[in-house]
Structures are given as C-alpha cells and as structure tokens.
A and B are shown apart, each in its own frame.
Chain A
Amino acid sequence: MARGIKDKVAILGMGCSKFGERWDKEADDLMVEAFEEALKDAGIEKNQIEAAWFSTAIEDQHVGKSGTPLAVALRLPQIAVTRVENFCASGTDAFRGAVYAVASGAADIALALGVEKLKDTGYGGLPQRSRGVLNSMWWANASAPGNFAQLAAAYRAKHNVSKEDLKRAIAHISVKSHDNGSRNPKAHLQNKVTMEQVLEAPIVAEPLGLFDCCGVSDGSACAIVTTPEIARSLGKTDIISVKALQLSVSNGVEAQHNSWDGSYFATARVASKKAYQEAGVQNPREEIDLIEVHDCFSVTELVTMEDIHISPEGRAIYDVMDGFYDHDGKIPCQIDGGLKCFGHPIGASGMRMIYEMYLQLQGKAGPRQRKELPRLGMTHNLGGFPHQNVCSVSIVGRYE
C-alpha cells in the first residue's frame, strides 16, 4: 500500500454556517458565513489561498455548475476552483481534493468549501431530480428514505431481529442525536424528543418514521488546509492533522450480484479498513475517541457502526441500547447532533463532520465538548443508496 497522507496536511482553519431553513439567505451568503469564520480562524489573507475545491450536490436546483459560484461569491483571485459532486459524500471529497493538493506540494494553502441550498423546492424532503436518461426508465421509483429503509428488512432477516427490537434501537439513535443537537447552537434541530414521540411518528418509508430521517437544511462548511510546517510558521501550536482519507465507490456488485445481502454498506467496510491502515489504527474500538457518521437515516447509523468495524457484526443494536455511542458513552457518535439534527445541506455535510472533529480535538466545542479530550476522530460520509453508493472516511487527530 502507498505511504498515504498521514500527518502531511494540517487543518489551518475551519468555518461552518448555521444550518437550517435559511429562508432569508442565498447560497453565497452561506458560503461567506462559513468562509469568514474559517479565514479568521486560519489567520491568513484570502489571497494566500492557492487552489480551491467546491462541493455541491444538487447543483441544478441550487447554484449551477462549475467552480464559478465559489470563485464569484468569495471573489477568489482567479485561482483554480474545481467543483466536486459525489452524491452526499461531496463535502468530504472536496476536502480530499484540497488535502491532496497540499500533500502533493502543488499548493501550500488550499480551500475546500461545501454549500447546499435545499429549501427552495416548495416541499419537504430532498429535491426530485433526474437520475439519468436510461436509469429513469427502469430504476424503481425510490426515494432516499425508501432506499435506506430496506437496510432494515435485510438486517432483520440476516440477524434474526424482531421488527420491534430494531425499531427501538433506531429510535434510541434518533433520541440521542436530538439530545446532542440541543447543545449545538448551529444545529438545524435543537429540540429533544422522547422514545414515544419517535416510535409513534408517522411512517415515511416502512419502517422509518419521521424522526428516523435527517433534516433537509441549508448550510455551508469550509476548511483551509496547509502543511503542519506552514501551520507552525503561521503561529499555530495546537495542530490538527489529517491521518487518513479514503473513498470507496460501488461498482455494481451490490446492485447486480447476489453476493451482497442488503444489510450493510460494502463500501464503508472497505473505506474504513483502508483508513485505519493509513492512519495506523490497529483496534478502532479502543483507539478512536469520537465518530461522526452519515446518519441520513437512523438505520444507516445503526448498520454503519458495524461497517466501520467498531461494533461486531450483529451487535450494533446492543451497543446502541447500552449507550456506547451516547454523548457520555465510550465512543460518542454525532456529538453535534449529526445529519439528524445539525442538518444535511448535502454539499456541506462531510465538511461539517470534519469541522466538529476539529473543534472537539481542540477542546473548543463548548457545551457539547466531549469530557475527555479526544485524540483521534473519524468521520464517515456516504452518498447514494445502500445498493450503489460512494463512501468517504476521514480520520483526523492531534498532530503529535
């Protein structure tokens, strides 16, 4: 295996807008909101940025194509801007572009910014959009919750779990994330909910109810990266560095070959394993202190706990119900509320996860700060559907 990028790149500054129904803000307002925070945090001038990666997912109902929306919104000095679209993993993939630019030496300081303005459709849930000329003619007429809900049927069949037990476990996940979101002033949803509320909510796609689905939000998040050496020369002492960045993309096996049983994410298993290897993590359950995963739906979070090799296969339900992933558990998951409550402006979500890790690793997360200062955090950002998806995993940690 290649040597990887461990500790070659440091995060110089990060920013994140308030997520939510930002009725009064345009996409460029959100970009500037996140960018100003990051720029201030980095302590550099805008003109020191040498290259940028810009992530949006549903650009046809949003800012349009190409790198120009970012360049224009931030008045970047005619530098390279590449637009990245990789489903809901777009944000982490933009970050990967910026990190690779610095790691390669092509740029000393690079920017990754993600934004999504989802609340201009006129209805709840993700926007309707074409799935391609040919796909539209035969793919099942599936929504996002409908695709992810199917994990539940397959997981129950595989592990012999009753409908009720699974429903309670995924409800616990949502209750936990709402609890965490209540301590996050930037979160879209800051209300606590009870098990009863979650269990009795209207069904969106069997067995997922309203509270099993994440928020659809407007928002932006942003990272400025450089080398640890430059970060130090700019006066940074508490340096957070990138330990691993992996992306795994389905090649049609899950959708078309009978070797996949529908109960897990094949890509997440590959990407997380490679990330641990790149970061030198031997035993993730013992070494990872904090995780942010792509909880687009509660059941996604449940099976992901196994796919990232933290809960043993078939045991995620028990870890969840034991509070292992609660904010005061051994490995808190979605300590910021996750997609569920922080919100899910698609192109920004991956970067938002890294933003939270960045704050937590420095002990700057305020009321939601993990009590014992984390050393190593992991983010998992997924796009597509269980049977065909892209999965990004990052590991970031204190530069020691």
Chain B
Amino acid sequence: MAKGILRYGAYVPMRRLQRKAMVAANAWFNGALKSQSKGERAMANWDEDSVTMAVAAARDCLGDFSRDQLSAVHLASTTLPFADRLNAGIVAGALNLAESVAGHDHSASQRAGLSALADALNAAKGPILVTAAEKRRTKAASPLELSSGDGAAALLVGEGDVIAELVAHANRTVDFVDHYRGDGVAYDYSWEERWIRDEGYNKIVPATLKDLFAKAGVTGADVAHFCMPCTLAKVAGPIARKAGIPDAAVRDNLALVCGDTGAAHALVMFAHALESAKPGDLILVVAFGQGCDALLFRATDKIASVKPARGVSGYLARKREETNYQKFLAFNDTIELERGMRSELDKATALSSLYRNRGTLTGFVGGKCNVCGTLQFPKSNICVNPNCNAFHSQEPQPFSDLEGRIMSYTADNLTYSADPPACYGMVQFDAGGRVMIDFTDVTPDDIDVGRKMDMVFRIKDYDGQRGFTRYFWKATPAENAAKQGG
C-alpha cells in the first residue's frame, strides 16, 4: 500500500515584524543590513515556543481526524524548550493523544524536520504525526535575526488514502559545519556565506538529488514543486537549474512574508506546496544541514480532498504588522527589561500536581456530568449544577475545540505581563462550562462581551530560577469572530 501524506497543516504566529524597523534600529552598527530591509518576518508572541507552535500546527493538520488512531508523534526543532523531557510528550498531552502513542524528539540540525518526516515514512504503518517548529534566538543586529521567522508545520503520515505518496528518499550525512550552536550557548556561530554556498549547498545537494532521481526513475524536468529552504541568495535557483528542474517549479521560500523557520521550514514549504499541488504533481522537498535529506512525493487524486484548517496561506493572511523591534528583543530575552517587582513571584511548579492534573492543565479536559449533562471546567467530584450536585458523575470532556464567548473581560495594567496590558476574562462555552482565562494575541480593542474566542495552547509561565516552562490554554479571538450579543 502506498505510504505518504494523509493530512497537512502549519502555524505562523500572528505578528509580522517589519524588517524596515529592525534595520532602522541596527543599521548604525552594520550598514550591510540595509540589503535585508524588505518584507517581514513571523514573530512569536512571548508565550509561544516550539512546543506550542507544534501543537497549533498539529491542530491545523488534524482537524476532526480521529486522534485515537495515532501510533506516534514526532517533534523536530533545534529550539526545544526542554533538553531532557520529551517535548513530543507535551505535544501529545495537549492533543489528548492516547498514552499508547510513541513519542520522538528530533533536533540538532536544520534538516531535523525533514529527517523526522523521512523516519516516520520509513517506519510504522501509522498514522504518525510529524511536527516541526522553530523559534530561534538570534543576536541583535545579526543577519540571522532578519532572515529567520518563527513557525511550525505538521504532517500526518500513513498508508492508504494518501494525498501525496512517497516516491523516493535519499540522504547524505556530511559533517559540514556551516554554523553551529554549542551546548548551553544561546546563539548560532556562522561561517562565511560564499563557502557555505560553494562547498556546502552546491556540492552536497546535487549529489543527493542525483541519488534520489536514480532511485525514483525520474528526471528533474518532471518535478512540479521544488521546496528547498535556503536563506542565501542565488542557491535554490541554480541548484534546480543544474538538476534540470524547471524555474517555475522552484517554490517561494517565504522569505519576504515569513522568514526561514529553521528545522521546520522544509515542512512549512512542503505544506504550502500541498495547498496548490495537482494530482500527479511531483513534489521534491530538500533540507540541508550537515548533509541533506531529499524526499520525492507524487500528489494523488485525493490531493484536493483534504485541506488544513488554515494552512500556511491562511496563517500568512492572518497577520498583524509589528513595528516595535524593541518588543521583539524583549520577547526573546535579548535585552534585559526592568520587569518590576511584580514579576518576581515564584513560579515553582509542583511536578506531582502537574502530573495528577495533566488532563486539566495540558489537555484542557473538563467534565461532563452523566446525570444532568452539564459541562464544567475543571472536572470535579461533585457536579457544579446547583440543581444536580451529583457525586462522581463526570466523564472527561475536552474543551479545546469548543466555541466560547467573552462574558466579562478587562485589560489590566497592574498585574505583571510580558506584554501589558494583561487581557483576560470569563469565557463561556456555548455547549456549557466557563473559565476565567488569560487572553493572547489580542489588544484591548479586540475584545468585548459576546466576542467569539478560540482556545490555544500557550506558555503560562516561565520559571527562570529552575528553567521550567509551564503551559496552559488561553483564549484568542476566533477566526471570523463576528461580534455577537451585547
């Protein structure tokens, strides 16, 4: 049976930092940055990291696909929040996957996302969820800061009714150190770009493609979509031309509208290509990094039958322009803000309590009373309905996909927030239940009583003293959130 892609999705944070603003702040120091002034880069909110973005991409990908069927979940990133804690396990928890699911983290290379996809395709029958996400820390005034973007992609891999079948896979592993990030070091260290182009891309990628085409029995001319992330100019085009791939097949690397999402970017470009692929189209996905992975897919006649909730295009269209470069630096801890004494509250997490309450906290699972049907959050021993109060009557009820509306709200300048004012309020779910919850990706002007809200998995707190990231769910204005009610 054909192995391939069953579903796909992506996530791009709402803020797009304008490169003009970044360059305006830094050109005094490095005038050469002016050549990178065009366009915008995706900028994660302070409460997003590779795990939360992977969850968002996975939700975009999975839609109503039955999550009980998943056999494994992969997460690829070079910016995982935990060096020793299965990050894919957090993703699995947020998606409420069964505990029988396998979990894998992939890291340490810019091609980790595509390698993870290759591993998944070569492995079990699936369905396997592959996610990749990146939120790179970059030095102020670095070219990497301008070329990077934050984002994620997710692909559901399996057998059967695939929308794109795997034709062939080739790879190379070469210890070519174009850049590296040592253990415990926040930022990348890079070598000269011309050397990376000539000795790296231009030698390693063509050799891999040659193997791939031989395995697949196709030529470059047959390729309809060539997805190869590369932030260097004049690399992808010439490599394609040399391999006989038509110019028109070379896909936009989204540099101007998103930036390079690192380990996720090959999958982001692939997910983007799947949005427009026609049955029979050959899609070539290449990722470079201490070698190369190259995967060739053929879109099937099912290609149009599955669409992500938003996809790359939908998320790129949903945006808010950000011109405050200082905010970007603060969100990424590149500068030390005077955060005030209210930020000093100890955020220690009792791991035993987190584990006991993982359904509530990570899965956003509440209760549904099997006597009166009342939905409630959190799940409790005694039904909250004053006319019921049944004991031990609640079945697990996920709240993450329920429609909610603002019942009351405020924009708070007193409480500590990394992005004041802190907006929060009571969100009431149409199906029943409510929660006083933090809002995210909002300004005070976005919110009013009756506004439809979606639930998103985000960072709740970061415990800097112990290096622990605490996650919970937040409310954000829903897509097409028409103001309803009073």
Give A residues with C-beta under 8 Å from B.
Answer: 121-123, 125, 128-130, 133-134, 136-143, 145-147, 149-151, 153-154, 156-158, 160, 202-206, 252-253, 255-259, 261-262, 387
Contacts and interface: CB of A to CB of B under 8 A. Distances in A.
Contact of B354 (A137, A151, A156, A255): A137
Contacts of B340: 123
A331 to B, nearest CB: 28
Contacts of A262: 407-408, 426
A133 B350 contact: yes
A387 B408 CA distance: 10
A62 to B, nearest CB: 17
A151 B408 CA distance: 7
Contact of B361 (A137, A156, A160, A256): A137
5 contacts: A141-B424, A205-B421, A258-B433, A262-B426, A387-B426
Contacts of A145: 410, 412, 414
A256 B376 contact: yes
Contacts of A204: 412-414
Given A122-B341, A123-B340, A257 B415 contact: no
B409 A153 contact: yes
What are the 4 A-B residue pairs with the smallest beta carbon separation, nearest first? A146-B412, A150-B408, A157-B486, A143-B415
Interface of B: 340-342, 344-347, 349-350, 353-354, 357, 360-361, 374, 376-378, 380, 384-386, 406-417, 421-422, 424-426, 428, 432-438, 444, 448-450, 460, 470, 472, 485-486
Contacts of B438: 140-141
B214 to A, nearest CB: 54
B2 to A, nearest CB: 43
B341 A142 contact: no
Contacts of A252: 380, 384
Contacts of A129: 345
Contact of B486 (A136, A143, A160, A205): A160
B436 A137 contact: no
Contacts of A140: 424-425, 436-438
B408 A154 contact: yes
Nearest to A207: B410
Contacts of B341: 121-123, 128
B7 to A, nearest CB: 30
A146 B410 contact: yes
A147 B347 CA distance: 20
Contact of B386 (A133, A153, A257): A257
B439 to A, nearest CB: 9
Given A133-B353, A160-B486, A138 B472 contact: yes
Contacts of B460: 137-138
B436 A258 contact: no
A123 B415 CA distance: 12
Contacts of A150: 408-410, 425-426
Contact of B414 (A125, A136, A138, A154): A125
A141 B416 contact: yes
A316 B417 CA distance: 34
Nearest to B431: A258
Nearest to A121: B341
A133 B346 CA distance: 11
Instruction: Name the residue among B349, B411, B414, B470 with the largest chain A CB count within 10 angstroms.
Output: B414
A153 B408 contact: yes
Q: Which of A130, A138, A149, A154 is the most central at the interface, judged by chain B CB atoms within 10 Å of its CB?
A: A138
Contacts of B386: 253, 257, 259
Given A141-B422, A204-B414, A123 B385 contact: no
A387 to B, nearest CB: 6
A121 B424 CA distance: 25
A256 B385 CA distance: 9
A153 B428 CA distance: 14
A153 B410 contact: yes
Between B380, B422, B450, the greatest number of chain A beta carbons within 10 A of the residue's beta carbon is seen for B422
Contact of B415 (A130, A146, A156, A158): A146
Contacts of B409: 150, 153
A206 B347 contact: no
Given A137-B361, A146-B410, A262-B408, A128 B345 contact: yes
Contacts of B436: 139-140, 142, 147, 255, 387
B314 to A, nearest CB: 28
Nearest to A123: B341
Given A137-B361, A150-B409, A154-B407, A258 B434 contact: yes
A140 B421 CA distance: 13
A156 B448 CA distance: 11
A278 B361 CA distance: 43
B267 to A, nearest CB: 31
Most buried by A among B378, B415, B435, B485: B415
B186 to A, nearest CB: 26
Nearest to B414: A143
A241 B117 CA distance: 78
B349 to A, nearest CB: 7
B411 A205 contact: yes
A253 B437 CA distance: 16
A42 B342 CA distance: 43
Nearest to B422: A141
Nearest to B432: A258
Contacts of A151: 408
B345 A142 contact: no
A125 B432 CA distance: 35
